[in-house]
Chain A
Amino acid sequence: MANEPKSTFRNDARAKVSGRAQYADDIRLPGMAHAVPVYTRFVRAENLRVDASAARAAPGVLGVFTAADVPGQVRFGQIVRDYPMLAEGTIRCEGEVIALAVADTRRRALAAAALVVETADELPPVTDPQAALAAGAPVVRWGGDDNLANHGRVRRGDAAKVLASCDLVVEETFSTQAVEHAYMEPESAVAIPRPDGVLEIRGSMQHPFSTRRFVSALLGVSLAEVEVVDTTTGGGFGGKDDTAAIVCARAALAARKLGRPVKLTYDREWSFRESYKRHPYRLRYRVGFSKDGTARAAEIDMLCDSGAYTSVTPWVNWRSTAQCCGPYYVDAVRMDIRAAATNNVFTGAMRGFGAPQVNFAVEQVMDIAAERLGLSPLEIRRKNMVKQDGLTITGQRLDTHVVSLGQVMDTVVRDSGYEAKLARCTRGKARDGRLYGIGLAISYRGASLGAEGLDYCSAVVNVQSDGSVLLDAAIHENGQGAESVQMLILAEELGLPVERIRRQRSSTSRIPDGGTTVATRGTLMGGGAVAQAARELKRLMAETLADELGDPASIRFEDGRVGVPGEPSLSWEEAIARMYDRRVYPYAFGTFRAPPVSWDEHTGQGDAYFTYVYSCQAAEVSVDPATGKVSLLALWASHDVGRAINRPLTLGQAYGGMVQAAGMALMEDLAQAGGRIGNRNLDRYKIPRARDIPEMRCTLVENPDPNSPTGAKGIGEPAVELLAPAIANAVYNATGVRCRDLPIRLDPEDLK
């Protein structure tokens, strides 16, 4: 592209570092009331009765609302409408809210909440997914006659038969844990009943349009009667969908009932207690290899805990299905994944979305097989990885983009000095009192939603009469820098400095639903829509001004000028003034529709995603044999992101993802027992701190994707999905002990 793109920009940096960014909890309005949730005492119970009379009589109380006060649907969900926004009849997990106490101050609302009386018939909770699926288990799934929340499958060839003829069959069982998103800002919402009858929501959330669906369901009003206005959001990582939306819906209920603005802000304990977690998986792999290392067949069974409600479990499982063999081609695959409903807090979307669990298994199986066959971990990966114009296990031919798995792996191998370091691994024999190891993992990740859902997004470019530009797009800023990327893309397309552009504050009433800000689709889909809108605007301007500037097809928008190269041109401002003179609005609406995908859910075959991100990460560790503690010495990554539009933010995503993955690998563990979470705050639920993280290096690989309007693919989720197995492989190479369960815990007795 002719315009030298500016690649470092952040529209919200100044506001955030100076503390002026306005988060939902910062909003204060005249007459605003404060709501707080009242939690159930139970994990599983029936015949719930809630007596709020004492609470209603408490000082300052404006209302105490229960399911009985809901004008619309109490239950809602993204796939199955099973989640009770206020508990009704049956309690299925400790995160259920039985009432909402609203008072003139938060303190008085909290005091009133303590006066709500709850009675119910308590039942023993079902908390083990295996037991939940056993015949005769008590049915805890809403509306079901068993606890099977989902079943996904792949059927490719006759895996059992091929396995029987393999030279080596690796049979391994792995488990991964429930993980909390631990976004910096807990859920918060302000609901404002407006004089025009519309209910306005400002809140911390991942997806304004998803929130709007929850609010309109609870209130029983149309989508047009709810306006969700973009509000600064302090992180989501996939975790600010259902629960954040429900928090908004509850604030909306109170606001509607009371006819005044209501704020509902969560503290960390409430957020831990109620919000969904990453799905814990149990994975059993049987993978057959021939002597030369070719993976020939796989039989795979996965079981995951969906918790008390469905949320997006089937979609999460679907990604685990399509990517069940990691980035490898295997000729014959039989894969089944089952999700069990239990009385644990529900599980849902989290950055990585069904891939980290699978990669944790696959990337260890590869190292195990390599060792048993006397091959290097690199050789076995090169032999089996998906290749240019080759097939995936779902039968998709990868011929529309550059397949760069080998390139990213070579990059990390080079950057990290992997081969020389591999030879120095201690394999259980401590050197100077320490054990040392290096390990790596590779992955591919289908970008965007794939066959999970309708995938399109829109953007609006509205040029003002002075040439300044307003941009709107249907991808939401979660703190990842989405708006900045959209602005950079527009600046580059129009040949303008980014300072000429303002990202307008979006709302659900101003732009069509562009799908959710998930699945590493923000830059790809949201940025793609911006590029399409810009191209639409340029087409309109070129055609309108052709009589003055010449052949519309030759007109360029560069360096603040509009014209055919070598011919007289107009400044951007002059061109815009001409547009207004001619009564043609320099306004464009652009849509990007993802190329078609396909899926057969009975065989698990089809073109799952329209493009893939290729990744490799490596970790170098030191293990203290006396304590079993693992220290990270260095981390490396390489990702083919298509194109890095905002380089520092792209790297920031990579590094942040690695830190999050290191937490999953080594420390994060929800202490769940009997359906109750024992560590509901960050003093007991440990996430990595700066001192736990070593130097990191990420080298970006850029093979622009022909199907992406900007060439960009994405980085958000690839960054988090493969470090845990890289660390596990490094730990094995250091200690000789294979860690099949997350988080990794070493027993010093095994290191003697």
Chain B
Amino acid sequence: MVHEFQYRAPSSRPELLALLQEHGTSAKVLAGGTDLLPNIRMGIAKPAYVVDCKRLPEADRLVFSPSEGLRIGHGVTISAILRDRTVRERFPLLAEAAHELASHQVRNRATVAGNVVNASPCSDMALPLLCLDAEAVLASVSGERTVSFREFFTGPKATVMKPGEFLAEIRVPAAAADRKGRYAKLKRVKGHDLGIVGVLLASAPDGLRAAVSSAAPTPVLVSGIDASLDAQAVDALVQKAIKPIDDVRCTAEYRRYMVGAFIRRLLPEVNR
């Protein structure tokens, strides 16, 4: 690792936001580091400042209340999601996706916030967050704004976040509790692996939802699908929304095919 950087670990949010304001694009937030550190090592990210956000007192907050819904602090790890009883019982879609993300070791460090800020098209956590109408609370020295995950992703590894902004918290509305669905992720090996393609089918009040990863520049959500449609019709709708590419893992054609195959497999399970 040749790249050298300054490490900062502020213990309050104002301190952290001030650092991000001061250093702008030359600062990177460090959560679990499972994306950031490999990127630094490979020379893809070259931050002058690495700002660790885990010392903030509210980092690990994971609470549910009927008034505020589920609040996921920026330091909440994938393992914490899996361990939390409320999440498992009331937001099973989150647990279902979390279970597919990487290995035990990585899940113990990786955060939900890091996963969405990293904005990989193959992000596992983006899919349930999209299906659950979740929002990102973005904080900066000039205040907070809230952005729905439907607007959050703008391209591969790109989001609406501006320099100086920090993802303080993820909120899942209480109204989304108890939404059920099924997730299927295609991998190259049976152990942990990034997805070749992933499909989450879930039922919501406005109809069926399909969230798809690794099949477009961003994770894709198709909502308001008539629940009485057959798999072929659902697939046709989803195919219009995705735009897969060829890469080292597989071809665009295979990705399109597999999205259809997963819809055919998951639909009867979700409609049951």
A686 near B189: Cβ-Cβ < 8 Å: yes
Chain A residue numbers with a CB within 8 Å of B8 are none
Asked whether B230 is an interface residue with its Cβ less than 8 Å from the other chain, the reply is no
B2 near A626: Cβ-Cβ < 8 Å: no
B191 near A689: Cβ-Cβ < 8 Å: yes
Chain A 109-129 against B: per-residue CB contact (8 Å), 1 yes, 0 no? Answer: 011001000000000000000
> At the interface, is chain B mostly helix, strand, loop or mixed?
loop
Asked whether B177 is an interface residue with its Cβ less than 8 Å from the other chain, the reply is no
Chain A residue numbers with a CB within 8 Å of B2 are 107, 110-111, 114
Instruction: Determine the distance from Cα of A521 to Cα of B267 in the docked complex, in whole angstroms.
Output: 56
**Of B68-76, B122-130, B165-173, B258-266, which stretch is located at the interface?**
B258-266
Asked whether A2 is an interface residue with its Cβ less than 8 Å from the other chain, the reply is no
CB-CB contacts below 8 Å: B218-272 with A: 248-249, 257-258, 261-262, 264-265
A686 near B188: Cβ-Cβ < 8 Å: yes
A691 near B248: Cβ-Cβ < 8 Å: no
A627 near B258: Cβ-Cβ < 8 Å: yes
Asked whether A671 is an interface residue with its Cβ less than 8 Å from the other chain, the reply is yes
Instruction: Determine the distance from Cα of A631 to Cα of B189 in the docked complex, in whole angstroms.
Output: 10
Instruction: Determine the distance from Cα of A686 to Cα of B262 in the docked complex, in whole angstroms.
Output: 23
Chain A 672-696 against B: per-residue CB contact (8 Å), 1 yes, 0 no? Answer: 0000001100011010111110000
Chain A residue numbers with a CB within 8 Å of B162 are none
A691 near B258: Cβ-Cβ < 8 Å: no
Total interface residues on B, CB under 8 Å, equals 17
Shortest A117–chain B CB gap in Å is 17
Select which of A678, A684, A689 is within 8 A of B190 by beta carbon: A689
B191 near A692: Cβ-Cβ < 8 Å: yes
Chain A residue numbers with a CB within 8 Å of B189 are 667, 686, 688-689, 691-692
CB-CB contacts below 8 Å: B105-119 with A: none
Asked whether B144 is an interface residue with its Cβ less than 8 Å from the other chain, the reply is no
A626 near B193: Cβ-Cβ < 8 Å: no
Across the interface, name the chain B residue whose C-beta is closest to A111: B2
Asked whether A749 is an interface residue with its Cβ less than 8 Å from the other chain, the reply is yes
Asked whether A648 is an interface residue with its Cβ less than 8 Å from the other chain, the reply is no
Asked whether A748 is an interface residue with its Cβ less than 8 Å from the other chain, the reply is yes
Chain B residue numbers with a CB within 8 Å of A107 are 1-2
Asked whether B186 is an interface residue with its Cβ less than 8 Å from the other chain, the reply is yes
Shortest A624–chain B CB gap in Å is 9
Instruction: Determine the distance from Cα of A690 to Cα of B257 in the docked complex, in whole angstroms.
Output: 28
Across the interface, name the chain A residue whose C-beta is closest to B261: A626
Interface size on A, as a range, is: 20 to 34
Chain A 66-106 against B: per-residue CB contact (8 Å), 1 yes, 0 no? Answer: 00000000000000000000000000000000000000000
Across the interface, name the chain B residue whose C-beta is closest to A663: B189
Shortest A635–chain B CB gap in Å is 15
A627 near B190: Cβ-Cβ < 8 Å: no
Instruction: Determine the distance from Cα of A11 to Cα of B234 in the docked complex, in whole angstroms.
Output: 62
Instruction: Determine the distance from Cα of A220 to Cα of B26 in the docked complex, in whole angstroms.
Output: 50
Instruction: Determine the distance from Cα of A403 to Cα of B194 in the docked complex, in whole angstroms.
Output: 48
A667 near B188: Cβ-Cβ < 8 Å: yes
Shortest A36–chain B CB gap in Å is 10
A678 near B261: Cβ-Cβ < 8 Å: no
Chain A residue numbers with a CB within 8 Å of B262 are 626
Chain B residue numbers with a CB within 8 Å of A689 are 189-191
B248 near A684: Cβ-Cβ < 8 Å: yes
Shortest B188–chain A CB gap in Å is 5
Across the interface, name the chain B residue whose C-beta is closest to A109: B2
CB-CB contacts below 8 Å: B1-39 with A: 1-2
Select which of B191, B261, B265 is within 8 A of A691 by beta carbon: B191
Instruction: Determine the distance from Cα of A293 to Cα of B11 in the docked complex, in whole angstroms.
Output: 79
B261 near A627: Cβ-Cβ < 8 Å: yes
| A-B contacts, 20 listed (Cβ < 8 Å) | A107-B2, A114-B2, A626-B261, A626-B262, A626-B264, A626-B265, A631-B190, A671-B248, A678-B248, A679-B248, A686-B188, A688-B189, A689-B189, A689-B190, A691-B189, A691-B191, A692-B191, A748-B257, A748-B258, A748-B261
Interface residues of A (CB under 8 A from B): 107, 110-111, 114, 626-627, 629, 631, 667, 671, 678-679, 683-684, 686, 688-692, 748-749
Given contact pairs A683-B194, A688-B189, A689-B191, a sample of 9 additional A-B residue pairs in the complex whose CB atoms are under 8 Å apart: A626-B262, A626-B264, A627-B186, A627-B261, A684-B248, A689-B189, A691-B191, A692-B189, A692-B191
